[in-house]
Chain A
Amino acid sequence: MTAPVTPTLLYLDNVTVSFDGFRALNALSLAIDHAEMRAIIGPNGAGKTTMMDVITGKTQPNEGTALFEGTHDLTALDEAAIAELGIGRKFQTPTVFEMHTVEDNLLLALKNKRGPLATLLSRRANQERERIDALLERVRLTAQRHRRAGELSHGQKQWLEIGMLLAQEPKLLLIDEPAAGMTDQETADTADLLRDIAKSKAVIVVEHDMTFVRDLGVKVTCLHEGSVLAEGSLDAVSANERVVEVYLGR
């Protein structure tokens, strides 16, 4: 594990996003350390997805700061540039290239030159092959290597997408509801995988499934109406009166 260059990897401060007067994010502030795993919880409409949109450059905030590694201003960059900085994102519904084989999905995700000319003239190297082999092993898809991604099961697609994120060799992974639609066993395995990943990379997991969050055993941030409501261990957050109020109603 490399020594941290700056104290925080991701730094959001006072980020506000509004759509037609509706504030999806309201002065949100958040800091993620190198190789830290953080779980984000919150009811629907709390701003979880919008926060990811801001971090990955899909949405421009109306105001606020979003810094990566202390120097890169995320609000000024587009999706592709942010991805190249080392931020990977997994969507809520698994999104893979269904017509491509599992292997090709990973190949496209590998950290390589992304320009049209480079991809047009690229040749497959043995080195790449080894990396793909290792990734397939890690997300348990070696046997599916030549199948079309569209033919995989829901859980396999989730894992393939995580594999693609790993292939990007990012410094920060944003993972939206990885356990959705998975069997209990798959959910437990996914938690293991994420914990393993978090040994070397920072991970932000958005999840509704409290068992899963407990399994992860990490610091939890609860969002509500676009800002941070509570932060701490899951037990502490669940004990927080305001969190209970938001989740259960008065």
Chain B
Amino acid sequence: MRVAILAALTPSPFKVHFMNILRTILRAFVLLLGMASAALTGPYEEALPKFANDSYADTDTAIGAVASSGNPLSIDVVEALRDGRLLIGAGQVFIRRVSGELTNAATGQVWGNPAGELKAVRVNNRVRRSIEAALGSLTLLSADAAKRLEAAHAVFRSRDEAVLPTLEKAIAQEGQTHVRNALENARAAILLSKQDALPMQRLAAIETLRARGDQEALALLSNLPSNAPPDVVAAAGKAAAGIRSRLTFWEAVQNVWYGISLGSVLLLAAIGLAITFGTMGVINMAHGEMVMLGAYTTFMVQELIRSQAPGLFGASLLIALPLAFLVAGSVGVLIERTVIRFLYGRPLETLLATWGISLILQQGVRTIFGPTNREVGTPAWMSGALDIGTMSLTYNRIAIVVFAFAVFAILLLVLRYTPLGLYVRAVTQNRRMAGSMGIRTSRIDALAFGLGSGVAGIAGVALSQIDNVSPNLGQGYIIDSFMVVVFGGVGNLWGTLVGAITLGIANKLLEPYAGAVLGKIALLIAIIVFIQRRPRGLFALKGRAVEA
């Protein structure tokens, strides 16, 4: 039979090239299936002529019939209709391929020049909706898993009842779990809104949607058809409540995460201050500018890498870390040696002098690098996101949280277990005694100040990833940093940690209710009131040491 058809349809096997033969064979293979159904005059062939009527109602019915026919040409037909490439003329239906070729819609065979003039089948909005639904059902059976998944999502949104049989078929033959899940979700969505669905089916659908548990499932469950029986309504209500509490939970988790993320930024910005202000009692208003210097160091390192060794870009931040520490740290030591050491015991004057230094540093950076934002790139390993539940954690935020805690831990260890830490604590607690023990207090002051500034510098490396690198970068952090240190309790690194995270989370939890600006204002007022109630912060040192 196959040979007979081939012979009947090819004009002359002797005149064509090998390639032509191949093409012909392929086309014939397609046609073979078409002819097979044509021979049975299946629903496809019966529906096709309806397009020729060019009435919207007929076109609409035809789409449904074609889509459910199972004919492999049906996708082409519906797509052509969507794109205005389905043509009619002389009672026949043609598809103009994207390549320009004209084929017979019934057979798929290439058609030469048609006799009469052809015109496109018109579509309106109703028809367009049918087209979308039909395409959804057609691609459900596609060989490409990604396309099937996409179709499943499309059906979930369109909830076209006509797709149901195809959907059942697709579910039955689906091999991949995540696609099957999506397909089942789509079926559940249809069944839930279908007027004549059985209560059993609806209950199963509700169960599926409950398991899906997102905003869309919630929307579906809250919009049941009016004729739904009470037990279905009850089950849907219960499922919706479940989803709602799940969503609230994830929303809370998300807010807490945002809070921790903000808190870790605050921690990074404030932790250097916790050393200079907290343990040395020096008000360094130029602290924010140390952060800025760190960020500009990152920018310089990336510029160098871009021009000299592009391959190292992934490591640019790691290279920038020690450099930023050195740059900000040496500027810190310089400031301590030239200005601050003359002002110990005069905190208000220190505040004013360091403010002056911050102005100089800002203007210096503005003069060298210009007033505009400089571009600091994100290495590939830090882009992307991790999906947990309904939330998505970006890798750069995760990196900053981890980094902030690492810096905190290292600093804690340095202060506790290194000689420098021991000396710093000794000088902080009793300067004169430490001096008499042979500790060079002025040198320790300089080193401690350099340490605090250096930590601010490496904070700048991290913050360059999430903030604009401009001369004003530091200004944005100075008030917040002081709030964190004062709130947490001066002279206590743990207080700074708790203070930063608490303020970060409180800020993010307030935001949904009060908005970003009002939330921030509310928090500032809360801290002001808090400081007034407990002037020495959350983790205050008590006793005689404080009185002295």
- Give chain A's interface residues, CB within 8 Å of chain B: 19-20, 22, 24
Contacts and interface: CB of A to CB of B under 8 A. Distances in A.
Identify the 4 closest CB pairs spanning chains A and B, nearest first: A19-B543, A20-B542, A20-B543, A19-B542
Interface string B286-301: 0000000000000000
A22 B543 CA distance: 8
8 contacts: A19-B542, A19-B543, A19-B544, A20-B542, A20-B543, A22-B543, A22-B544, A24-B544
Contacts of A22: 543-544
B272 to A, nearest CB: 28
Contacts of B543: 19-20, 22
The main secondary structure of chain A at its interface with chain B is strand
Nearest to A58: B547
Contacts of B544: 19, 22, 24
Nearest to A45: B544
| Chain B at the A interface: SS class | loop
Contacts of A19: 542-544
Given A19-B542, A19-B544, A22-B543, 4 more contacts: A19-B543, A20-B542, A20-B543, A24-B544
B28 to A, nearest CB: 95
A40 B544 CA distance: 20
Contacts of B542: 19-20
A183 to B, nearest CB: 25
Interface in B523-548: 542-544
A52 to B, nearest CB: 12
Contacts of A20: 542-543
B285 to A, nearest CB: 28
A151 B543 CA distance: 34
Nearest to B544: A19
Nearest to A53: B547
Nearest to B546: A19
Nearest to A22: B543
A89 to B, nearest CB: 15
A73 B293 CA distance: 58
Interface in B492-548: 542-544
Contacts of A24: 544
A53 B544 CA distance: 12
A157 B238 CA distance: 82
B491 to A, nearest CB: 14
A197 to B, nearest CB: 28
A54 to B, nearest CB: 13
A20 B540 CA distance: 11
Interface in B174-210: none
A20 B543 CA distance: 7
Interface in B305-349: none
Most buried by B among A19, A22, A24: A19
A150 B542 CA distance: 32
B433 to A, nearest CB: 14
A51 to B, nearest CB: 14
Interface string B11-49: 000000000000000000000000000000000000000
Nearest to B543: A19
Nearest to B541: A20
A237 B542 CA distance: 34
A20 B544 CA distance: 10
Nearest to B545: A19
A28 B391 CA distance: 62
A75 to B, nearest CB: 18
A63 to B, nearest CB: 17
A24 B543 CA distance: 9
B496 to A, nearest CB: 20
B533 to A, nearest CB: 16
A32 B543 CA distance: 27
A19 B543 CA distance: 5
Nearest to A19: B543
A76 B248 CA distance: 49
A69 B260 CA distance: 57
A44 to B, nearest CB: 11
A25 B236 CA distance: 68
